[in-house]
Structure 1
């Protein structure tokens, strides 16, 4: 796992500033503390920080082909590199190392832009082909590894694994993108291709970008998409085949020349990965988990049971329930506003894992692909109700009920019908977006200043979903799974894991996101994923001989922190100082009177505004830690 950065003069071959390139590289030292390297030639500068995993004595980057006309910097792992190496050797290519990086330059020579279609793994890479005067960049299909780029006013193109490296150039415009601000307060993160900065873009998952010197910057091109086979019938032996396919995905991710382990939360997904790792390993698997004092958030006893069943070398660490010191540190890690509070325990579990291992396998992706989130059940229930009434009757009826029904944040969900009524008054896409949003449309409008609303010119975060809708499947469950795979998975889940793990120079591998396994799962009927109110139906059935029933069928807990209590207790004054202080006020983005009402309603106990208050707290921290320091 590594960090990459570079500068490309798009219109000429003038000199690249070496000191800037070195500064960009050094800002990502945490991503690759083992080695660093740069390559400079007229009009091109490439830089790399290395965390050595495979072929530790070789594989230094930037890495070249035989005649040094092609050079690459790369972050990730290509798991099928042995097979590709054999194929490329047979085609006449010569290899000097035994690492997966060298496969990229020869695959480019052999297959050109289509080389990425041959790679199985997680990757973000940029290569320069001197003979073609072409800079080529690509990102893996699911977006496990990040890649950012910016076109500078002088025509140069900057790129890096993290935005902080781009900010090393004082000439990079720091203007905030108002559409990204809206996206952030709708989703809690900023979905691709936007970033918080107007000048900076994220290369979307499953996309490549080929840039010829002397030509304008083109739009990225998709090389992969996920197809759902909604009308398919269940294949014979589906449960056995699922286990065998996942076993293969786990097996190829256990190849490393450094200590290897796994996260073990006690949930279905991480427990499945650990079970298969244990069956594939001659040595006990290294596992780690964290525990919380609050039993509502503590899964450590379930993790311990799985660890005992498979005799893993298990490490548990209790996390301070008031782990406030991380708040400002997170803003520096993410380089832009990021509001998933589970980033805090994720940071701590990565820190714990790095004490014993350099590579850790995780269970990320299971909820998206096997319909494990509760919101999928709620969405399907609402879809059935929408089908009972025509839109002309449903919209005014449920719109009236949604307006009249009180907001009962303190009550069990069955009595919190206001949000459900509001969702039922909308169409399917609007309803899912409403349930998903940190803050509903009407309240986001109250949050924003007149100036921000003018800059938005009517733009709403739902446009992110609409951008993907043309390629989304028809089935209502598959449709929202597809939307999450395109937005929430890379923008929230995988971003969280990448930044938290790389902060500790830890490589995290995600077998459930093996693209061949993902494609196979997408071809299963929706009813095998969500059966009634039971998510992950076929996954759990396939795991019955590997894990106990109460691990498979217990209530999902998640990886959350007690924000509501924090903001009424130990963080009470800090919240008020941050949200009602000068930083947010001076930004000109928000209605400070509305923020004051949110704080008062929450701290009085009348409402639970913890999600939006946390989002504002992290935005304020971003402004101080990143924007003001840039």
Structure 2
């Protein structure tokens, strides 16, 4: 993982150099710039000469975290042999060695064909033509063996093949090609022939790209939001709608950000800037629909000079395509093939895809760690990682597992982590969770600074602490992120199945049941238990239609749930395309919640310490295999039924029978401790946190007590209010409270 910075004007060179310093944490192993001052070297550890400032064209800068080919030859930016393309890249390309072999074979065939044609022309007296290396291959190709070279070759071939109708063909062709590229990536590609800048992010949005366009049409971009706040000439101001978005989602969903004038490139999108105009294209994406697995492709609206057509209501086009994915895994150890190779078995096929995804994620030239907990997802990834390491037969390939410990608390899972690590013969490091209020506040502030705005998931503090310790183990770390969304692990998916049935009852009956249940909860002399509160919440969410159910269960703020006009969510799925409510919820999580919440948190907190988190369960082939399985099969039993079968042979007997405690801290206690640290007493804290909100004092006190009593919804709501105030106090003092 690395850091990208750039602008379409070289007058922004000074800004870019400062931004590269600010993003040093994303790339502690060096940095590069194009064009460099001497016109030849694109890399330097000192300030390049600024003589190129007055020339037309862009400036591209790169912070390097060296994980694949750590030699100096693999530094970025990289330039094609013919000088047409310049690339900076963040992330990793899964299976890049296989892709390189395919590219090499294609290049060899092309050279042989060119040589044959030249010989024929020479024999017949025709004019000789030059032959040689692939012009879009990388300079010094034979010296560098990185995945960056492979990506440049792929991008260059597609773009250069669209010269005849560049504006119409290049974008869709790139989107189609990138749909088949596995891994996690963000890139910026400059085309010297067309004076065009291409930006792109992977289908899950694991690697971020923020951008802003100046009034004169020039574009600025970076891997984090903060550098754009100081970009010269940009008109940037706090977004008045950010507060409500953070309350509902815990974050501001892409393409919006907390700052008006700055956007985030959405997951699975590429963007082309050319002469001040912007066009955006969506990659074909794997989706489950009524007829099975499909790919949807988004095409841009008609481009207009000086406008971002993606924001002007471009239409969507759905189409069915064939997705080719190899089901064979030639890398599986022979001892595992009886379990991993069952061509007709859905479970066996899923295992093979996960195994290959884990093997690809472990393909790097630096040590690899693996997050471990009491959950099924991290257990499955760790089990496959242990098998990959044994297959490679090098002791150094065995990842070191890391688990966060909550000594003496119910969410502590260190004993289960020890059990699994011992079973897998994997070394284990236990990392104590933070608990001191001053430490919590310091880490909260650091996290908000990394996000460049408010972010309401309290697990951010845990991930910050975890990443600090993981950095001492390895710069690459495998995670189980995405398993719940892909395999149906969240309880609300099963609740959605029940809601689907309850919605068939007459509306008046559903409204009356909700009225009775919620009235009873409100009038109880004591705090209702979680079970009773859950029933009341379920009945309240099902008084309307399926959209109301999805909104209610994805709105994280107990206050805005009852305020008209404050419950809308960004990225609502189409129930025409996905009629099944549970599957629609899973798709919403994959499209909106996972990229904006967990994956964003992993990126910012990991990169704060130079750690690249890699989630193999989000590999395209894994997601496609899971999407082909009906939701009811995923949700059978206690949930994750298919994934459970895939994992169970590799973990201790009975290991999966115990429910995961979850990566959730004691939110209510943390909220209380930080609030009292900041404002001295509970009353003052409540006044500050509920500032400008129409909530009666008695209701505030009741919410406060619910939060301290382990009511997670109430605790998360108050945590969000606290986060906003902390951001206002320390990092967003210029923001206007709506």
After TM superposition, the score normalised by the length of structure 2 is: 0.77
| SS in structure 2 at match of 1:535 | coil
Deviates more, 1:603-612 or 1:170-179: 603-612
Distance, in Å, in 2 between the alignment partners of 1:291 and 1:194 is 35
Any stretches of 5+ residues in structure 1 without a counterpart? 10-14, 446-457
Aligned counterpart in structure 2 of residue 397 of structure 1, from 507, 512, 519: 512
1:242 aligns with 2:350: yes
The answer for the alignment partner of 1:479 in structure 2 is 584
The verdict on how the C-alpha distance between 1:597 and 1:64 changes in structure 2, with shifts beyond 3 A counting, is farther
Asked whether the equivalents of residues 31 and 49 of structure 1 are also in contact (C-alpha less than 8 Å), the reply is yes
| SS in structure 1 at match of 2:695 | helix
Aligned counterpart in structure 2 of residue 561 of structure 1, from 659, 665, 671: 665
Residue 174 of structure 1 and its aligned partner are, at CA, apart by 3.7
TM alignment of 1:37-186, pairs within 5 A: 37-40=32-35, 42-57=56-71, 58-89=73-104, 90-91=106-107, 93=134, 94-95=137-138, 96=141, 97-112=144-159, 113=171, 114=174, 115-169=177-231, 171-186=233-248
The verdict on how the C-alpha distance between 1:54 and 1:235 changes in structure 2, with shifts beyond 3 A counting, is closer
Distance, in Å, in 1 between the alignment partners of 2:720 and 2:223 is 24
The answer for the alignment partner of 2:570 in structure 1 is 464
**CA RMSD for the aligned pairs?**
2.8
Asked whether the equivalents of residues 286 and 624 of structure 2 are also in contact (C-alpha less than 8 Å), the reply is yes
Asked whether the equivalents of residues 188 and 615 of structure 1 are also in contact (C-alpha less than 8 Å), the reply is yes
Encode CA deviations 1:132-159: one digit per residue, 9 max, x unaligned. Answer: 1211111101111111111123322111
The answer for the alignment partner of 1:616 in structure 2 is 721
Aligned counterpart in structure 2 of residue 222 of structure 1, from 263, 282, 285: 282
Residue 573 of structure 1 and its aligned partner are, at CA, apart by 4.9
Asked whether the equivalents of residues 499 and 542 of structure 2 are also in contact (C-alpha less than 8 Å), the reply is yes
The answer for the alignment partner of 1:520 in structure 2 is 625
The answer for the alignment partner of 2:542 in structure 1 is 424
| SS in structure 1 at match of 2:208 | coil
The answer for the alignment partner of 1:16 in structure 2 is 11
The verdict on how the C-alpha distance between 1:572 and 1:288 changes in structure 2, with shifts beyond 3 A counting, is same
The answer for the alignment partner of 2:450 in structure 1 is 333
Distance, in Å, in 2 between the alignment partners of 1:472 and 1:31 is 39
Residue 327 of structure 1 and its aligned partner are, at CA, apart by 2.0
Asked whether the equivalents of residues 575 and 617 of structure 1 are also in contact (C-alpha less than 8 Å), the reply is no
| SS in structure 2 at match of 1:315 | strand
Distance, in Å, in 2 between the alignment partners of 1:74 and 1:365 is 23
The verdict on how the C-alpha distance between 1:412 and 1:551 changes in structure 2, with shifts beyond 3 A counting, is farther
The answer for the alignment partner of 1:6 in structure 2 is 6
Residue 427 of structure 1 and its aligned partner are, at CA, apart by 1.3
The verdict on how the C-alpha distance between 1:315 and 1:403 changes in structure 2, with shifts beyond 3 A counting, is closer
The answer for the alignment partner of 1:448 in structure 2 is none
The answer for the alignment partner of 2:635 in structure 1 is 530
Residue 36 of structure 1 and its aligned partner are, at CA, apart by 0.7
1:313 aligns with 2:427: yes
1:33 aligns with 2:28: yes
Work out which structure has the larger RCO, using CA pairs closer than 8 Å and 6 or more positions apart in sequence: 1
| SS in structure 2 at match of 1:435 | helix
Residue 433 of structure 1 and its aligned partner are, at CA, apart by 1.6
Distance, in Å, in 2 between the alignment partners of 1:403 and 1:309 is 47
The verdict on how the C-alpha distance between 1:463 and 1:353 changes in structure 2, with shifts beyond 3 A counting, is closer
| SS in structure 1 at match of 2:230 | coil
Aligned counterpart in structure 2 of residue 269 of structure 1, from 367, 377, 395: 377
Asked whether the equivalents of residues 20 and 62 of structure 2 are also in contact (C-alpha less than 8 Å), the reply is yes
The answer for the alignment partner of 2:128 in structure 1 is none
1:205 aligns with 2:267: yes
Deviates more, 1:229-238 or 1:298-307: 229-238
| SS in structure 1 at match of 2:278 | coil
Asked whether the equivalents of residues 398 and 424 of structure 1 are also in contact (C-alpha less than 8 Å), the reply is no
Distance, in Å, in 1 between the alignment partners of 2:252 and 2:478 is 26
Distance, in Å, in 1 between the alignment partners of 2:530 and 2:687 is 35
The verdict on how the C-alpha distance between 1:238 and 1:593 changes in structure 2, with shifts beyond 3 A counting, is closer
Residue 82 of structure 1 and its aligned partner are, at CA, apart by 2.2
Asked whether the equivalents of residues 28 and 610 of structure 2 are also in contact (C-alpha less than 8 Å), the reply is yes
The verdict on how the C-alpha distance between 1:604 and 1:530 changes in structure 2, with shifts beyond 3 A counting, is closer
The answer for the alignment partner of 2:126 in structure 1 is none
The answer for the alignment partner of 1:295 in structure 2 is 409
1:259 aligns with 2:274: no
Encode CA deviations 1:55-93: one digit per residue, 9 max, x unaligned. Answer: 111221111101222101110101232233233332352
Any stretches of 5+ residues in structure 2 without a counterpart? 36-54, 111-133, 160-170, 294-341
After TM superposition, the score normalised by the length of structure 1 is: 0.89
Asked whether the equivalents of residues 371 and 479 of structure 2 are also in contact (C-alpha less than 8 Å), the reply is yes
Distance, in Å, in 1 between the alignment partners of 2:239 and 2:681 is 26
TM alignment of 1:318-467, pairs within 5 A: 318-322=432-436, 323-324=439-440, 325-387=442-504, 389-391=505-507, 393-394=508-509, 396-401=511-516, 404-407=519-522, 410-416=527-533, 417-440=535-558, 442=560, 445=563, 460=566, 462-466=568-572
Residue 379 of structure 1 and its aligned partner are, at CA, apart by 2.1
Distance, in Å, in 1 between the alignment partners of 2:62 and 2:412 is 39
Asked whether the equivalents of residues 580 and 592 of structure 1 are also in contact (C-alpha less than 8 Å), the reply is no
Deviates more, 1:592-601 or 1:507-516: 592-601
Residue 43 of structure 1 and its aligned partner are, at CA, apart by 3.1
Distance, in Å, in 1 between the alignment partners of 2:26 and 2:547 is 38
TM alignment of 1:501-520, pairs within 5 A: 501-520=606-625
Distance, in Å, in 1 between the alignment partners of 2:178 and 2:576 is 21
| SS in structure 2 at match of 1:363 | coil
Asked whether the equivalents of residues 183 and 461 of structure 1 are also in contact (C-alpha less than 8 Å), the reply is no
The verdict on how the C-alpha distance between 1:427 and 1:441 changes in structure 2, with shifts beyond 3 A counting, is farther
Asked whether the equivalents of residues 89 and 187 of structure 2 are also in contact (C-alpha less than 8 Å), the reply is yes
Distance, in Å, in 2 between the alignment partners of 1:170 and 1:625 is 23
Deviates more, 1:615-624 or 1:86-95: 86-95
Residue 249 of structure 1 and its aligned partner are, at CA, apart by 0.8
Bigger Rg, which one = 2
Asked whether the equivalents of residues 23 and 168 of structure 1 are also in contact (C-alpha less than 8 Å), the reply is no
Distance, in Å, in 1 between the alignment partners of 2:217 and 2:6 is 14
Distance, in Å, in 2 between the alignment partners of 1:370 and 1:475 is 15
Residue 349 of structure 1 and its aligned partner are, at CA, apart by 1.6
